[in-house]
Amino acid sequence: MANAAQVQRMSRLMIKTLRDDPADAETASHKLLVRAGYVRRSSAGIWTWLPLGKKVLENVSRIVREEMDAIGGQEVLLPALLPKEPYEASGRWEEYGDLLFRLKDRKGSDYLLGPTHEEIFTLTVKDQCTSYKDLPVILYQIQTKYRDEARPRSGVLRGREFQMKDSYSFDTTDEGLAQSYALHREAYQKIFQRLGLDYRIVSAVSGAMGGSASEEFLAPASAGEDTFVDCPSCDYAANTEAVTVKVAPVDGGAHGPVEELDTPDTPTIEALAEYLGVQASATLKNLLVKVDGEIVAVGVPGNREVDLGKLGEHLAPATVELVTAEDFVDRPDLVRGYVGPQGLAGKAFRYIADPRIAPGTAWITGANKEGRHAKNVVAGRDFEVDDYLDVVVVEPGDPCPKCGTGLKIDRAIEIGHIFQLGRKYADAFELDVLGQNGKPTRVTMGSYGIGVSRAVAALAEQTHDESGLCWPREVAPADVHVVAAGKAKQTELALEVGERLGAAGLRVLVDDRAGVSPGVKFTDAELLGVPTIVVAGRRAAEGVVEVKDRRTGEREEMTVEEAVARLSA
Ligand code: ATP
Ligand code: MG
């Protein structure tokens, strides 16, 4: 018996494909999802999911749901419209700044549209769980989230309204949290594998969420807004801000005494290197910053840049700011553009250096006098380093910390993020349960997100080709796209094939549109990206169709019987 629901006739499908890219679209997923009629822009960063798009979105959601259920997650649905108070209690009403959509009800009370739900889940568990026996618990939802992103772009990749799976774990012990985290990590691996996404797991710097262990799941794609380092020979991958580069120890060798040089008008490394005819890498650049208001100098080779994000992470919770002209007013010892650590490190400022400024290495650096530099300034002999920290912006070719091979830097889309939050939210809301010892025990939490709508765009980015979308089977809106390429005979055969494939349990799209040329139908089939295309064409009268693999382009003629047997196998 044919399962009618599995066979979608295109003559009855609301779909309008476009030949041209939308004017504002820069990325492939944005162009193709719009052109193929999967989504339409409603307003900036806000999207309508049309019938085929909704099917793909549902397929992604189903996979996420199945794997979350498999680790014991319980699905709930919390409101998206939330009162201000819990977000005030956690500090995020302020912290989120302009990212938060805020609104008032008719009585003038403040509300927000949820960007993520740590606060409300914490309160839900506080209400529902009272004893250690009620834990551990993993709760999740697949829900619409709202963030007033500064630059909503790339279609559904970065929306202001988007679908997220967010889950939260609640445990009484640190070991329990580690276990819940490990379960999520494995579930995520299964989810992304089933989705057919190429992904890497990288350790992340935990931002505004607060907390400790945190990893991101990145889908490499040129349209991505994240950069990450990837080792071409081992499995090492990391967020660019989280890389710690292993620097080989150097043999300092013998160096002559410090020698001062007259170098007029050379306040920048470029000017200095040109004036002396040396490589920038032979010079030592000293960047002055203020750490909690105190001046600190950061020494790096002249050809490298300081990564302020990395520096901030190393020095957190202290704040790091760049110095301004005012900071030099009462400091005649600091000569702007000509600062050197010799004589000053550890006295005039705390001196932080990149590990490349290893003991025994000699440098050309500022002489602490206007228009003068010094050469043969040797680390450990002429100045001491207070702290060696990895603070330079990572560059392609830097050694892999695991195997030493030169690293690559690639772009990627963040598709998932897992955090061990610890007790931050439990403390804010005094979430305790009765412990085994009869005393209140503070709960420890994890939070875990997957961009469900973003995953659709990430898949489109990774799998499309020049003709259109090219879905992996599990997320495709149909298994088979049958094209009636001709008149009545072809349409009749196409519908018959569709019915038989549907009866065999396959999801089928049949292009039975009248008055649409075979050429247009072929172009649309390529654009829509269903994994198998069956064409009822020239040899329809003989009961012969052509079966084509959308990805490889391989095609083969066979009888309808053979096609049905082959495709339903
Ligand atoms: P991003 O750095 O891309 O802004 P995020 O780190 O702020 O993301 P999380 O708070 O970790 O995002 O949210 C969990 C997941 O939700 C992300 O890993 C991402 O896949 C997805 N996501 C976040 N913001 C958006 C958005 N504006 N549009 C679509 N998906 C998003
Ligand atoms: Mg994130």
Q: Residue 163 sits in a domain of what CATH number? A: 3.30.930.10
How many angstroms separate the CA atoms of 495 and 507, rounded? Answer: 13
In a domain, 225, yes or no: yes
How many angstroms separate the CA atoms of 287 and 463, rounded? Answer: 44
pLDDT of residue 212: 55
Helices marked H in 71-138 — which ranges? 84-90, 92-95, 118-128
What is the 100 CA–ligand 2 centroid distance (Å)? 16
- Which residue owns the Cα nearest ligand 1 atom 16? 451
> Ligand 1 pocket check: which of 49, 239, 414, 418 to mutate, most ligand atoms within 8 Å of Cβ?
414
Q: Is the CB of 145 under 6 A from ligand 1?
A: no
Beta strands in 328-475 (DSSP E): 350-353, 362-369, 372-378, 387-388, 408-422, 432-434, 440-442, 444-451
Same structural domain for residues 450 and 548?
no
Residue that is last in its domain, among 357, 388, 419:
388
pLDDT of residue 251: 65
Same structural domain for residues 207 and 321?
no
308-353: per-residue pLDDT in tens?
A: 988 988 898 899 999 998 888 888 899 989 999 998 888 889 999 9
Beta strands in 195-306 (DSSP E): 200-203, 214-220, 226-230, 237-239, 259-262, 284-291, 294-301
Q: Residue 334 sits in a domain of what CATH number? A: 3.90.960.10
In a domain, 279, yes or no: yes
- Which residue owns the Cα nearest ligand 1 atom 11? 417
Same structural domain for residues 483 and 360?
no
Specify the DSSP element, H or E, that contains 83: strand 81-83
- Which residue owns the Cα nearest ligand 1 atom 21? 451
In a domain, 397, yes or no: no
370-389: per-residue pLDDT in tens?
A: 999 999 999 999 999 999 99
Same structural domain for residues 51 and 147?
yes
Q: Beta 161-171 vs 200-203: how paired, if at all? A: unpaired
Q: Residue 521 sits in a domain of what CATH number? A: 3.40.50.800
Same structural domain for residues 106 and 66?
yes
pLDDT of residue 33: 98
Neighbours of ion ligand 2 (CB under 5 A): 417
What is the 120 CA–ligand 2 centroid distance (Å)? 19
pLDDT of residue 207: 41
Same structural domain for residues 202 and 315?
no
Instruction: Please give the order of strands across the beta sheet that includes 320-322.
Output: 320-322, 284-291, 294-301, 350-353, 387-388
Q: Is the CB of 417 under 6 A from ligand 1?
A: yes
Ligand nearest to the CA of 413: 1
What is the 8 CA–ligand 1 centroid distance (Å)? 33
- Which residue owns the Cα nearest ligand 1 atom 3? 414
Cβ neighbours for 2, distance < 8 A, ≥ 6 positions apart: 499, 500, 502, 503
Same structural domain for residues 482 and 445?
no
Ligand nearest to the CA of 458: 1
- Which range marks the domain in which residue 499 is found? 7-18+478-568
- In ligand 1, the atom with minimum distance to the C-alpha of 159 is 28
How many angstroms separate the CA atoms of 112 and 88, rounded? Answer: 11
In a domain, 31, yes or no: no
pLDDT of residue 210: 41
In a domain, 466, yes or no: no
In a domain, 171, yes or no: yes
Same structural domain for residues 289 and 418?
no
What is the 325 CA–ligand 1 centroid distance (Å)? 38
How many angstroms separate the CA atoms of 231 and 410, rounded? Answer: 10
pLDDT of residue 206: 41
Average pLDDT of adjacent 10-residue blocks, the chain of 569 residues: 72 96 93 98 97 98 98 98 97 96 98 98 98 97 97 91 98 97 98 97 60 84 93 88 68 84 93 94 95 94 92 88 89 91 90 93 94 95 92 90 91 96 96 96 98 98 98 97 96 97 96 97 98 97 97 97 95
In a domain, 373, yes or no: yes
Cβ(180)–Cβ(445) below 8 Å: no
Q: Is the CB of 110 under 6 A from ligand 1?
A: no
In a domain, 33, yes or no: no
Q: Is the CB of 45 under 6 A from ligand 1?
A: no
For residue 390 the two structure tokens come to 């990895």
Ligand nearest to the CA of 115: 1
Amino acid at 263: T
> Ligand 1 pocket check: which of 417, 447, 448, 453 to mutate, most ligand atoms within 8 Å of Cβ?
417
How many angstroms separate the CA atoms of 206 and 262, rounded? Answer: 46
Same structural domain for residues 452 and 548?
no
Same structural domain for residues 202 and 126?
yes
What is the 201 CA–ligand 2 centroid distance (Å)? 12
- In ligand 1, the atom with minimum distance to the C-alpha of 115 is 10
Total of domains in the chain:
3
Same structural domain for residues 348 and 309?
yes
Cβ(308)–Cβ(320) below 8 Å: yes
Same structural domain for residues 257 and 379?
yes
- In ligand 1, the atom with minimum distance to the C-alpha of 216 is 18
What is the 246 CA–ligand 2 centroid distance (Å)? 26
Beta strands in 379-531 (DSSP E): 387-388, 408-422, 432-434, 440-442, 444-451, 480-484, 508-511
Q: Beta 480-484 vs 508-511: how paired, if at all? A: parallel
Q: Is the CB of 449 under 6 A from ligand 1?
A: yes
Q: Beta 294-301 vs 350-353: how paired, if at all? A: parallel
- In ligand 1, the atom with minimum distance to the C-alpha of 164 is 16
Beta strands in 279-361 (DSSP E): 284-291, 294-301, 320-322, 350-353
What is the 205 CA–ligand 2 centroid distance (Å)? 10
Residue that is last in its domain, among 416, 436, 461:
461
> Ligand 1 pocket check: which of 206, 447, 454 to mutate, most ligand atoms within 8 Å of Cβ?
454
